Every structure is written in C-alpha cells, then in structure tokens.
Amino acid sequence: TSVKLNIRNYSHNNLLKSPPKILITGGLGQLGVECAKYLRKKYGRDNVILSDIIKPTQDIVNDGPYIFVDILDFKGLQKIVVDHRVDWLIHFSALLSAIGEQNVSLAVRVNIEGVHNVIELAKQYNLRIFVPSTIGAFGPDSPRNPTPNITIQRPRTIYGVSKVHAELMGEYYYHKFGLDFRCLRFPGVISSDPPGGGTTDYAIAIFHEVLRKGHYECYLKPDTRLPMMHVKDALRALSEYLAVPNENLTRRVYNVTAMDFTPEELTDKMAAYLPELKITYRPDSRQDIADSWPQVFDDSEARRDWNWKPQVDLDELVKLMIKEVKEKII
C-alpha cells in the first residue's frame, strides 16, 4: 500500500542520515529542557534544537542550540525545518488541563491550530513527529480502573479534547499519507521543574512547598487516585519509542505509565523522610477534572510492542524528588 511505501522510503532516507536532527517546540515548558539534555547525550549537542517564544536564560543558551519558534506561524516553522534540515519534530507546545479551562480560546489556538501546523509540516518534509497525549484524553465515560489503550474517549476539558484531536489527526495522516506520527499518552509527569497549570501538578508542588515551608494545601481530596511517572521514565519512554522501527509498532498511540497513587499515599511515603510535614486539603475545580480521569492506566500494549518498562517506583520517586527539589531551592 502507499502507506507502507512511504514509511519504507522514509526509513531508507533516514538510515542514510544519522544521527537525526531534532527540533523541540514548546521547549521551555515542563519537559523541554530535560528532554533536550537527554537527547543531546544520545544524538549530540548540536543535533537537538530547543525552541519556544520565551526568552531563555543564559544556562539554556549555553547548553545547546536555542531558537525562537511560534507554532502558530507556519512559514516561520517551515523556514526552520528547511534551514536546519530537521528530521524529527517533538511537539511539546500546549496549554495543560487546568490552565486551558481558564483560557479556552488560547488553548484552541495553541493546542489545535498548533498541531495542525506541525502535522502538515511533518507531512510536507517527511519528518518523524512526536506529539504527547495524556490520561486527560479520557473522560467520565471511560473505564477508569484500568483504562486500556483503546476505549471510549469523551474528555470534558479543552486540553483533553485537543489531545484526542491530535491523536486522531496523527493517525489519519499516518493512514492517508504514511506520516511517521508517534504519540504517547503520559500520566502525570513528576519533575523538579516548577508545575505548569496541570491537574496532576499537586504531586510536584507538594515537594516544593513542604521543603520550603513544611506545609502544603492540596487542591485534590486525599483519596484521588491518578497514574503518575517520574520525568526520567517519561523521557526514556519518549526516546525509546522514537527509536523503534516502524515495523515493530502495531499502533501510533500508546498508553505509558509507571505507578498510581493518591495524595494520602504520597504524603505517607514523604513522611518517612520529612516527619514534620503538614498537609491540609481544600479541593477546587481541579477535583472535577481528576475525577473524570483514569485512576489506573493499562500500558500493556507498549510493554508488548516495544518493551516499555518503568524503572522509578513510588519509593524511588519520593527519594529523587526530595533530592532534586532541595538542589533547586538552594
């Protein structure tokens, strides 16, 4: 079929040009800087270009190439792909779940128009393209414990709606044009970088606030179970998945996860290291979002097709976060 032919040509071209030149959009969000560090170790410093519309710090500029890219500017994006001979595009630009509800029209532009631009560009220039999706792509009608790879998806946030749209657009372009679209549905990703408007971000903020002030007021109820993953595992999943040959994949969108826990369970683990900590609870509108999301995520298809296996469990996550957040605070 034409799909197979395109993918085969693509792989062939790409074998001739190694390592790939990678462009990361939305590079100054939660994942970009760490992702660039990770991929620069693997593919070389100058082969990974970080981009955003934000003015970078000196440290970021010292780490490797950084350029201005507005994902709403198609011609600007096109110029960068051509000038830098980009092979892979990692598209992180997005407004997350909680912040998206506060500015729906901006979320539509960034999350939906932005995806249209990068997918069309990837098609025109034969790029491998990665767009992250999320547990937020499910909704109250989805089975929540566990949530399988293929099931009902009727999210109630604009973030979730935009992510289902991205998944479907990518799959459509794959079937129609042979686009090498790849997408992982991430759980809450826990990193020491400050939270950016998500619903799962309590599990990041709690470390910052407890280490700074000894106290955290949680906006979710103590028994709210959500799937989670340390950023180390998230970046390893992304990097491993991007390197899998097309013939090993049975789908373009995979669930991945590492663990699931509630605020209470997280607090209990933290108390072993920080016995003085005090947590209070005051649920807000983010509780409704969390209540519509998966509690336990089934990532068996990723485990089967490309050997996905998380390494950081809850004990290790707590140890890592205390160490990493302490380093950030000092």
Q: Identify whether the C-beta of residue 130 lies closer than 8 Å to the C-beta of residue 89.
A: yes
Nearer to ligand AKB, 201 or 301 (CB): 201
Interface segment toward ligand AKB; rule CB under 6 A; list 18-26, 193-201, 258-266, 273-281 = 193-201
- 3-state DSSP: the chain helix, strand, coil percent, rounded to 5? 50, 15, 35
Size of the site for ligand AKB (CB under 6 A): 10
Least Å distance, CB 310 to ligand AKB, is 16
Q: Identify whether the C-beta of residue 169 lies closer than 8 Å to the C-beta of residue 232.
A: no
Q: Is 188 in the site for ligand AKB (CB under 6 A)?
A: yes
Which two tokens mark 323?
């160490």
- Annotation says 159 is catalytic: yes
Nearest-angstrom CA–CA distance, 185 and 255: 5
Nearest-angstrom CA–CA distance, 71 and 75: 10
Q: To which residue do tokens 């950016």 refer? A: 196
Least Å distance, CB 137 to ligand AKB, is 8
Least Å distance, CB 71 to ligand AKB, is 18
* Residue 298, phi then psi, degrees to nearest 5: -95, 110
Considering only 51, 97, 147, 292, the residue that binds ligand AKB (CB under 6 A) is 97
Nearest to 233 by CA among 169, 297, 146: 297
306 membership: H or E segment, kind and range: helix 300-306
Cis peptide before 310 (omega within 30 of 0): no
Residue nearest to ligand AKB (CB): 198
The CA-atom distances, in angstroms, between 155 and each of 10, 210, 217, 292 are 34, 32, 27, 8
Q: Which of 10, 38, 43, 159 is catalytic?
A: 159
Nearby residues of 75 by Cβ (< 8 Å), 6 or more positions away? none
Q: Is 200 in the site for ligand AKB (CB under 6 A)?
A: yes
Residues 33-92 contacting ligand AKB, CB under 6 A: none
Q: Is 96 in the site for ligand AKB (CB under 6 A)?
A: yes
Size of the chain, expressed as the number of residues it contains? 330
Interface segment toward ligand AKB; rule CB under 6 A; list 139-147, 195-203, 240-248, 269-277 = 195-203
Residues 99-158 contacting ligand AKB, CB under 6 A: 134-136
Least Å distance, CB 191 to ligand AKB, is 10
Q: Is 199 in the site for ligand AKB (CB under 6 A)?
A: yes
Nearer to ligand AKB, 96 or 164 (CB): 96
Least Å distance, CB 255 to ligand AKB, is 12
Amino acid of residue 15: L
Least Å distance, CB 14 to ligand AKB, is 29
Q: Is 93 in the site for ligand AKB (CB under 6 A)?
A: no
Residues of the shown chain interacting with ligand AKB in the complex, contacts defined by CB under 6 A: 96-97, 134-136, 159, 188, 198-200
Name the residues annotated as catalytic.
159
